[in-house]
Structures are given as C-alpha cells and as structure tokens.
Homo-oligomer: A and B are copies of this chain.
Amino acid sequence: MAALFRGSRNLLQRCNKQHVHLVLVSSRSMASKTPVGFIGLGNMGSPMAKNLLKHGYPVIATDVFPESCKELQDEGAQILDSPAEVADKADRIITMLPSSPNVIEVYTGPNGILKKVKKGTLLIDSSTIDPSVSKEMALAAEKMGAVFMDAPVSGGVGAASLAKLTFMVGGVEEEYTAAQELLTCMGANVVYCGQVGTGQAAKICNNMLLAIGMIGTAETMNLGIRLGLDPKLLAQILNMSSGRCWSSDSYNPVPGVMEGVPSGNNYQGGFGTTLMAKDLGLAQHTATNTKTPVPLGSLAHQIYRVMCARGYANKDFSSVFQFLREQEEEPEKKGD
C-alpha cells in the first residue's frame, strides 16, 4: 500500500538502531540460485516475479490467466500448468493471491501445491488474508514436511515494480533468513514479526490504526475549518502537538495543506477506499473471532464501506475528508 510505504520510508531515515536490525538486508552470498516458484501473476505478483528474474533467480510460474503467464514467459520465466507442477519443480515457492479462498485452493486444492510439495520446501505467501487461514496452511504444509511463512506486503503496484515493498513476515525463525534472501529482491523493508500469522496480524493492525487516524484527521480538520481555523495552521498545530499522526503530518487529507499527496491531486492514486474497506473487513473478522473489542475500528470499517457506495470506491482513502466535507455544505444549499 502506497500509504504505508510512504510512511515507512519517511521514518526509516530517522529510524533508531532497534529498527535497523529489523530491516537488515541479508548480506550472505547468493552463489547457488536454484529455481524459485511463483504462483499468482496479478498486478502485484507480476512485477514481484520480474524482480526475482532481475536478481538472477530462475522463476517457475503459473497463473489462472494465460496472458499473465505469457507476459512473464517473455521475461524468461518457465510456465507450468498448476501449482502442483510448480511444487514438483521448485523447493522455494512464493504465492501472491487475492484472498483466502484462492490461497486455500492453491495450497490444498486438487492441483494444489501440497499435492506434490517436496520435503523441506519453503512456502512464502504474500497474499493479505485472515491470519487463521495462514495458520491452517502452515499446519497442512507441516504435515507434508514443508515450511509455510506468511509475508504480506505494504506498498502498491509502484512499490512492487521498484522493489520497494515492505514485507511483514510470520513463521519459524530458523527459516527467516532463507525467506529474507528472496524477499529483499522484491522489497526495501523486511520485518520479522513472530510465529506464523503474525505478518498478517501486523499488516491488519497497522491498516486499522491508519484508517482510524485518517478518518479522525479528516473529521478534525473539517471541524477546525468550520470553526474558522486556517487548514495549514491547524495542521501545524496538530503536528507539533499530541493530535499528530501519520495522516496529519505525512498524508494530510485536506487539499492544499501538503504537496505530493493524493489530496493535492483530487484523491487520485494512493491507496483505494475499497482496498482499505477490505483490510478493515479482515480486521473486523479477526477481532470478532478473538472477542477483541475494536469500537473505532468497527466504525471506521462501516464508514469506508459506505464510501465505497458513494463513488469513492476508487479514490484514495484520504478522500474521507471530501466525503465528510460535503456534509456541511449541502444542508445550507438545502436551507436546512
């Protein structure tokens, strides 16, 4: 997600030692480059696979869409017909799929990876899914003698192409460096989060707090403007005070307050409202399943769900300012 990506890069510059070890890039020799399997060649998966090729890794790939396969084949990848066949040829496999059902199918389906996976194979899933599904897959893989890690990404298509993604990795620590060797070819930050599923947990948590902070910033800026404050001055006051957050100081949703953010470009680009709504849906699921109260997270989920239907689906998620802003204007028009 572009938003998270911006945030992490900004901060890494003043990132303390504790952080540095987290994003340490594996420096061990990459002498033996054995083939890497890649399953899921969509908007994100395709540029990720290309970056593996760029780093000299032979790639054995598959996808349900032939044209996606064709494109990667032209880049030098070998294309096979099913996840099972990829598993038969590669002992390191990365999957990048849209949602939980796809992951379940690709791993445990009739032509799934686990049908032909070899003992000791490293399976890295970069899809964003429910952590409980990641745990299920890890158990199923373990039964076959394979190792499963979850490594969801932050950073959008642009970050994927530039190999600037952030990976949040969950799984057995012994395998982390092996995973890191591949992930650092596709991303700028790789963070080890703990047991399997914690990569997903970290991403879901960050995005839930991000959504809360963004809506809160939009509400607050809107209220302040209504009360006669200059938007830029209000942003300065918040940013030097306890109200500051990433949405107020690095991605302000009010047009004209900052440059180089979607609010300055009619909310084009950035992180789409539907994508945020989906991540908040995952957060809601995990919170419900773990009986964890998330009152603001739930309301943020509902607000982005409403926005999806108000023509904001494809606008950057900071457009919640515009969504709320109209609130006070129309009633006046209507002489409320």
- Flag A221-256 by CB within 8 Å of B: 1 or 0 each: 111101111100110111111111111101100000
**In the complex, residue of chain B having the shortest beta-carbon distance to the beta carbon of A303:** B295
Instruction: State whether A290 touches B209 (Cβ < 8 A).
Output: no
Q: Is A145 an interface residue (CB 8 A)?
A: no
Q: Taking the complex as formed, is A210 at the interface, i.e. its CB lies under 8 A from any CB of chain B?
A: yes
CA separation between A189 and B201, bound complex, in Å?
A: 40
The oligomer's copy count stands at 4
Specify which chain B residues have a CB less than 8 angstroms from the CB of A241 in the assembled complex.
Answer: 4, 7-8, 11, 154, 166, 206, 210, 246
- A: number of interface residues (CB 8 Å): 107
Interface residue A195 (Cβ < 8 Å from any Cβ of B)? yes
Is the C-beta of A215 less than 8 angstroms from some C-beta in chain B?
Answer: yes
| Chain B CB within 8 A of A260 CB | no
Interface membership of chain A positions 290-321, coded 1 if the CB is closer than 8 angstroms to chain B and 0 otherwise: 11111111111111011011110110000000
Q: Would A244 and B243 be within 8 Å (CB), given that A288-B285, A293-B305 are in contact?
A: no
Q: Is A126 an interface residue (CB 8 A)?
A: no
Q: Which residue of B lies closest to A201 (CB)?
A: B227
Q: A281 interface residue, CB < 8 Å from B? A: yes
Once the chains bind, are A327 and B298 in contact (CB under 8 Å)? Answer: no
A308 touches B296 (CB 8 A): no
Query: A259: CB under 8 A from chain B?
Result: no
User: Are B287 and A308 in contact, with the CB atoms below 8 A?
Assistant: no
Contacts of A296 in B (CB 8 A): 212, 215-216, 219, 296, 299-300
The reply on A208 being an interface residue by CB < 8 A is: yes
Chain B residue contacts of A294, Cβ below 8 A: 219-220, 222-223, 302
A152 at the interface (CB under 8 A from B): no
Partner of A292, one of B23, B154, B298, B327: B327
The verdict on A336 contacting chain B, using a C-beta distance below 8 Å, is: yes
A82 to B: closest C-beta gap in Å: 23
Using CB atoms and an 8 Å cutoff, list the residues of chain A in contact with chain B: 1, 3-4, 6-8, 11-12, 14-15, 18-19, 22-23, 131, 154, 166, 168, 189, 191, 193-195, 197-198, 201-202, 204-210, 212-213, 215-217, 219-224, 226-230, 233-234, 236-248, 250-251, 274, 277, 281, 283-288, 290-303, 305-306, 308-311, 313-314, 324, 326-331, 334, 336
**Interchain Cβ contacts under 8 Å between A and B, 5 examples:** A191-B237, A194-B229, A201-B229, A213-B243, A310-B326
